[in-house]
Amino acid sequence: MRHFLVHLSRHFLYFIIPAGCASCGEEIAEGGGRLCARCYAGLRFVNAPFCDACAVPFASTEHSEADGLCLECRQTGPLWQKGRAAFVYEEQARQLVLGLKYGGRTEYADILAWFMVQAGKDILRDDVVLVPVPIHRSRLWRRGYNQAALLVNVLSRLTGRECYPNALRRKRSTHPLARLTRGGRRKQVHDVMVLNSRYREKLQGRHVVLVDDILTTGATAEACTKVLLENNCISVDILVAARVTLFESLERQKGKFDA
């Protein structure tokens, strides 16, 4: 609760004090948005061409075959349909995501969600419902919030789409460092997600956009998708703030990254 109040007051101050850059605090020229030019320049957007399912950017159009999928998705396609990411998980985007997730910078959800709306334009159709990837309640108590649920709330506010921030529940905590390979991570998150029963009827026959801060191996998103489809959702698409690429995962394996 105390954590939550600290976050809340920080969020509030952000709105009453004339804000500089939301990331570094530098002064911003009038009408310059929430990030200064330097921080903005540090963002690497996921621009086309990218994989239609997992949003990994292609080095060139040569990799994008007629189906628009990367090799991995073509071989073992995920259960969800489309995947969209605002940024590649590096530099500035990484700072924003980590700040939101571990640094209590809940106001970053506003910035990230704004860019996620641009990235997810084609999947945020009128009839979709937004559902966040859940975190385990032990983590929720410690952190005071689920960063994906914060993103969902802002996305819903920006787009007017319906949202169910508590639709999914995580039965047990999983170790974040074990998400290095798709197979290993898949085994770990198998059967870890459940649908809260009071959302069963509400979600029946709906198209879901599943929201998270980052997409790494996709195993967590897949576990959520499986539960949603088993409970008669028509389709699931994925929308994340940042896509962790293979390179980033390898760097983290070497201990350079702390996510």
Any contact of residue 24 with Zn ion (CB under 5 A)?
Answer: yes
221 binds Zn ion (CB under 5 A): no
Residues 47-86, one symbol each (x = binds Zn ion by CB under 5 A, - = not), give ----x-xx---------------x--x-------------
Q: Which two tokens stand for residue 14?
A: 């952000």
Q: Which of 7, 23, 129, 239 binds Zn ion (CB under 5 A)?
A: 23
Name every residue whose Cβ is closer than 8 Å to that of residue 178 and which is 6 or more positions away in sequence: 184, 185, 188
3-state secondary structure at position 51: coil
Asked if residues 210 and 224 have their Cβ atoms less than 8 Å apart, the reply is yes
Q: Is 85 left (phi over 0), alpha (psi -120 to 50) or beta?
A: beta
Residue 165 corresponds to which tokens in the numbers above? 């921030």
36 contacts Zn ion (rule: CB under 5 A):
yes
Is 46 a binder of Zn ion (CB under 5 A)? no
Taking the complex as a whole, how short is the minimal distance between the CB of residue 202 and Zn ion, in angstroms? 30
CA-CA distance, 118 to 46, in Å (whole number)? 11
* Cβ closest to Zn ion, residue 21 vs residue 129: 21
Closest to Zn ion by CB, 57 vs 165, is 57
Helix, strand and coil percent figures for the chain, each rounded to 5: 40, 15, 40
148 near Zn ion (CB under 5 A) = no
Retrieve residue 114's tokens: 């704004």
Taking CB under 5 A as the rule, does residue 41 contact Zn ion? no
Among the listed ranges 17-25, 111-119, 161-169, 194-202, the one in contact with Zn ion (CB under 5 A) is 17-25
**Residues near Zn ion (CB under 5 A):** 21, 23-24, 26, 36, 39, 51, 53-54, 70, 73
